[in-house]
């Protein structure tokens, strides 16, 4: 008899507990929407070909890279590049079919200065001005 009472009391608590759990609304986690930001992209052919300097405004997600900006603006199919992976990342070899001649190269700049990191490593910030300019190596490079 004592066992029957214990089973009934135990069953009551199990039943009540399961009812409380199912009555509790499920909590859902919502992912935050990425923050959109605008950056300016300039492609300067520096007289290498008869093309005007292009300036485009691109809307991207905060945290995207300068590579993402370039690809979004002109399409990956219009960029010749080599991906060295790791810390080296992507090296831009041509833009819109224009490959610099001789020792010249596509210089990647952020806000008017040569970037300290590669195009695929630089995380773009709101208001940044991303530039690709045909340039020649300066002494010491």
- Cα separations in angstroms, 111 against 43, 44, 66, 108, 127: 13, 14, 12, 10, 9
Query: Domains in the chain: how many in total?
Result: 1
pTM: 0.72
State the Cα–Cα distance between residues 61 and 115, nearest whole angstrom.
Answer: 20
The strand pair at 36-44 and 54-61 is best described as: antiparallel
Higher pLDDT, 18 or 135: 135
Both tokens of 87, joined, read 């810390």
- Is the residue at 99 inside a domain? yes
- Name the band, by pLDDT with cuts 50, 70 and 90, for residue 9: very low
Q: What is the CATH number of the domain that holds 118?
A: 2.170.130.30
- Is the residue at 43 inside a domain? yes
Q: Name the residue range of residue 125's domain.
A: 36-135
Higher pLDDT, 1 or 34: 34
- Is the residue at 42 inside a domain? yes
């Amino acid at each position: 008899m004592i066992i029957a009472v214990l089973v009934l009391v135990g069953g009551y608590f199990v039943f009540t507990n399961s009812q409380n759990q199912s009555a509790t609304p499920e909590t859902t986690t919502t992912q935050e929407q990425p923050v959109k930001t605008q950056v300016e992209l300039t492609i300067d052919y520096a007289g290498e070909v008869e093309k005007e300097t292009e300036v485009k405004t691109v809307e991207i997600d905060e945290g995207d890279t300068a590579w993402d900006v370039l690809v979004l603006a002109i399409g990956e199919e219009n960029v010749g590049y080599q991906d060295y992976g790791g810390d080296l990342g992507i090296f831009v070899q041509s833009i819109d079919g224009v490959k610099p001649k001789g020792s010249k190269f596509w210089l990647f700049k952020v806000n008017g200065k040569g970037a300290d990191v590669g195009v695929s490593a630089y995380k773009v910030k709101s208001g940044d001005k991303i530039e690709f300019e045909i340039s020649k190596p300066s002494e010491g490079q």
